[in-house]
Amino acid sequence: MAILIDQTSRVLVQGITGREGQARTKLMKEYGTNVAAGVTPGKGGQEVHGVPVFNTVREAWEKSGPFDVSAVFVPAHLVKDGALEALEAGVKLLVLVPDRVPIWDVLEIARLAREKEARFVGPNTLGVLSPGKAVCGMIGGTAERAREWFQAGPVGVSSRSGGMTSALAYYMSREGVGQSTIVHVGGDAVVGLSHPEIMELFEKDPETRAVAMFGEIGTSQEERVADLIEQKRFTKPLIAFIGGKAAKTGTRFSHAGAIVEGTRGSYETKVKRLREAGAHVVDSIFDIPGLARRILGAKKEKTSVDIRWKTALTDVKPNKISVRGYAVDALMGEATFAQAIYLLFKGEFPSPEVGKLIDAILVSSIDHGASPPSVLTARTAASTGSELNAAVAAGVLAISRWHGGAVEEGMRLFLEAARRMESKSLGEQAAAEEILQELKRSGGKASGFGHRLHTRDPRTARLFSLAEELGLAGRHVRIARAVEAGLERSTGKALPINVDGAIAALLCDLGFPPELGNAFFIIARVPGLVAHVHEEKTRMKPMRKIHPENFEYDGPGKREV
Ligand SMILES: CC(C)(COP(=O)(O)OP(=O)(O)OC[C@H]1O[C@@H](n2cnc3c(N)ncnc32)[C@H](O)[C@@H]1OP(=O)(O)O)[C@@H](O)C(=O)NCCC(=O)NCCS
C-alpha cells in the first residue's frame, strides 16, 4: 500500500497541452502512472503522449471514466477555475502544482473541497510519488531518475520544501532506507493537505512503519503534528528536521509560509513541542537515514542508489566487451562504422538502409577543402608544431554555431514546424510560413539554407535522392523543402537547402534529438582534419602565413567511384 497515489489510481492532467503539462505527462506515464485523460479548454480531440485530451473535466469523466486524482498544470490565476471544475465533476484528490496561486482562490478551493469531501495537495507542490508505483506532479524530473533515486520501503516522507522532498528521499535510498510515499505538501501559507493530515494517512497505511518530516518555521503544521502524537492519533516513529533555525522574526525564509510572527511558528517552539511529544528531532537532514535505519532495526541494504554512477553504453569485463549489449567482436565485420555509431547513440542496431543513409551523411561532410574555419584552425596549429591530436582538436573546437552548427539549429527549426503541424493541424507550407515570419520579426535566420559557394549543393541532392530510394525521407524532408520554397518567396532569391539543412532534416526523420546534430558533422569532419594536419606537417614549412583563399588544388583529376 501507499498513500494518496499508486499504480491503480486513474489520473487526469489539467493543462495537459501546455509546456509543463506535456513534459510531466511523459514523466508520469513513463514512471507507470495511469494517466487516463487530459483537459485543456478548446483543445479537445488532440492527444498528448497517447493520452486523449478533452475540453472539460465533465466530458473527460463521461467519455473515459472516473478519475481518482487530477494533476493541475494550469497557470496560477486559472487554477481556481480548473480546481473547482474538477471538484464539481467528482474528483476527490487534486495535486495543484502551480506557484503564486492567490490565497483567496485557495480558500475557495478549500471550501468546495470540504463540501465535496475531497482533498488537495499544494498549491506550489512538486506532488506525490509512491516509489515503484506512480508519481503525480513533478517529483523526479525524469522517470529514469525517479526510479533511480526513490526506492520502495517502509518510511513515509512529508516535506514543506520541494528540493528537500527529493533530497531527503534520495539520501534515504542511498542508505538502503526505502520510502512508502513521498509527499511535498507545498510551501505556501495556506495549503490543502498539510503535515498533520499526511501523518494521519501514514498512520493508516500498513506499509509505512516510520515517517520522516521536513518541517519549516511558520504556520502551525509541526505543532499540530506534536498534538496528534500526544493524542495518540499518530503512533509511528517520527523523525523531524525543522528548517529556518537562523531566520529572524518577520523575515520570510524561502517559502511564502515560512515566516515567524512574534513567537508563533518559531524554530524553538516547533522543536520543543515535537520533542515533548516524543518525536526524534535531528539537527541535520543527513542524520535522518541512519536514524531511520536504527529505528527500523534494518541493516544497511545495498541499493542501486549509491555513489557509483551509471553508464548504459559499453560493458567491459575480462575478455568481453559489449557495446549496447552486442559483443564488439561480433559487430566487427558485420556492422558498418555508421551502424555502430547509430547503435551507440540510440541503443538499437539500425537496419541496413538506416546504416547506409548515415554512412552517406558522414561521407557528405568528410572534407570541404582548405578554406573552412576548422581546417584553417587545425592547419594553423599544425604549422606551429602542435601534435596531430592537438591540431585536430583545435579544428574540432572551431566547429561551432556558425560553422557546422547549422545542423542542430536546423533540426530545432524542423522539429518546431512538425510540432506546430500537429498541434495546430497545419500543412508543411503553413507551418514553415509561420516560423519564417516569426524569424523575420525577431531578426533571426533559418539555419541550413543558402551557401557562400554552392547554388545547388551536390551533397543535398544526393542525400535526399538516397533517402527517397531507401524509403527514409519523411515529414522533415518535406518541411525542409517547404521552408526552402517559403524563403524564396519571402526574400525573392533562391536560398537552397545546404548540406547542413539536408542532414538536419534526415536526422529528424531518423529520430535523433537536435543535441546530437552537430555530432555527425564533427565525426564526419575528423578524417578531413587529420588529412589536412598531416598534409600541413609533411608538405608545408613551419610557421607559414596561411591565406584562407590563396591556395591551389593539385590532387588527382576527375575519377569514377
Ligand atoms: C502551472 C505551470 C506549470 C504552467 O506552466 P506552462 O506549462 O509553462 O504553461 P502553459 O501556458 O504552457 O500551459 C498551461 C496550459 O493550461 C491550459 N489551461 C488554462 N486554463 C485551463 C483549465 N481551466 N483547464 C485545463 N487547462 C487549462 C492553457 O490553455 C495552457 O495550455 P496551451 O498552452 O495548450 O493553451 C506554471 O505556471 C507554474 O506555476 N510553474 C511553477 C511550478 C512550480 O515550480 N511548482 C512548485 C514546485 S516546488
Q: pLDDT, tens digit, for every residue of 218-257? A: 889 999 999 999 999 999 999 999 988 876 666 666 566 6
Shared-domain flag, residues 96 and 194: no
Is 139 part of any domain?
no
Shared-domain flag, residues 92 and 203: no
CA of 402 to the centre of ligand 1 (A): 35
Measured over the CA atoms of residue 4, residue 8, residue 13 and residue 19, the dihedral's sign is positive
Query: How far is the C-alpha of 154 from the C-alpha of 140, rounded, in Å?
Result: 19
Shared-domain flag, residues 160 and 109: no
Flag whether pLDDT at 317 surpasses 80.
yes
pLDDT of residue 75: 97
In terms of pLDDT, which residue wins out, 470 or 402?
Answer: 470
Beta strands (DSSP E) in 259-404 are 280-281, 314-317, 320-323, 326-327
Is 184 labeled as catalytic in the residue annotation?
no
Contact 81 CB / ligand 1 (< 6 Å)? yes
Is 345 part of any domain?
no
Residue at which a domain ends, from 310, 333, 366? 310
Is 338 part of any domain?
no
pLDDT of residue 253: 60
Is 450 part of any domain?
yes
Whichever domain contains 45, its CATH number is 3.40.50.720
Q: Domain range spanning residue 379?
A: 351-561
45 phi, psi to nearest 5 deg: 100, -20
Shared-domain flag, residues 300 and 409: no
pLDDT of residue 245: 80
Is 81 part of any domain?
yes
List pLDDT tens digits, range 321-340.
999 999 999 999 999 999 99
Shared-domain flag, residues 360 and 450: yes
Q: What is the 3-state secondary structure (H, E, C) of 383-442?
A: HCCCCHHHHHHHHHHCCECCEECHHHHHHHHHHHHHHHHHHHCCCHHHHHHHHHHHHHHH
Task: List the grid coordinates of 531.
Answer: 588529412
Shared-domain flag, residues 305 and 410: no
Shared-domain flag, residues 107 and 161: no
List pLDDT tens digits, range 454-468.
677 889 999 999 999
Is 243 part of any domain?
yes
The torsion angle over the Cα atoms of residues 525, 530, 534 and 539, rounded to 10 degrees, is 0
Count structural domains, the chain.
Answer: 3
Q: Which of 14, 16, 20, 46 to mutate to test the pocket of ligand 1 (most atoms within 8 A of CB)?
A: 20
Flag whether pLDDT at 265 surpasses 90.
no
Shared-domain flag, residues 397 and 271: no
Among the atoms of ligand 1, which is closest to the Cα of residue 42?
Answer: 29
Is 133 part of any domain?
no
- Selecting among 184, 195, 255, 280, the annotated active-site residue is 255
Shared-domain flag, residues 213 and 112: no
pLDDT of residue 260: 62
Length of the chain: 561
Residue at which a domain ends, from 74, 105, 122? 122
Supply the angle between the helices 287-296 and 162-174 in degrees, to the nearest 10: 50
Shared-domain flag, residues 362 and 471: yes
List pLDDT tens digits, range 60-96.
999 999 999 999 999 999 999 999 999 999 999 999 9
Shared-domain flag, residues 154 and 301: yes
Contact 164, 56 (CB under 8 A): no
Mean pLDDT of 470-475: 95
Indicate which residue's Cα is closest to atom 12 of ligand 1. 18
Residue at which a domain ends, from 261, 293, 310? 310
Is the preceding peptide bond at 123 cis, omega within 30 degrees of 0? yes
pLDDT of residue 390: 97
Query: How far is the C-alpha of 422 from the C-alpha of 417, rounded, in Å?
Result: 9
Shared-domain flag, residues 117 and 257: no
Contact 93, 201 (CB under 8 A): no
Task: Give pTM, 2 decimals.
Answer: 0.60
Task: List the grid coordinates of 343.
Answer: 547503435
Contact 38 CB / ligand 1 (< 6 Å)? no
Is 323 part of any domain?
no
Whichever domain contains 184, its CATH number is 3.40.50.261
List pLDDT tens digits, range 509-543.
999 999 999 899 999 999 999 999 999 999 999 99
**DSSP code string of 91-158:** --EEEE--S---HHHHHHHHHHHHHTT-EEE-SS--EEEETTTEEEESTTSSHHHHHHH--EEEEEEE
Whichever domain contains 451, its CATH number is 1.10.230.10
CA of 77 to the centre of ligand 1 (A): 10
In the structure, what pLDDT confidence band is assigned to residue 476 with cuts at 50, 70 and 90? very high
Contact 18 CB / ligand 1 (< 6 Å)? yes
Contact 54, 25 (CB under 8 A): no
Task: Give the distance, in angstroms, between the CA of residue 327 and the centroid of all CA atoms in the same chain.
Answer: 31
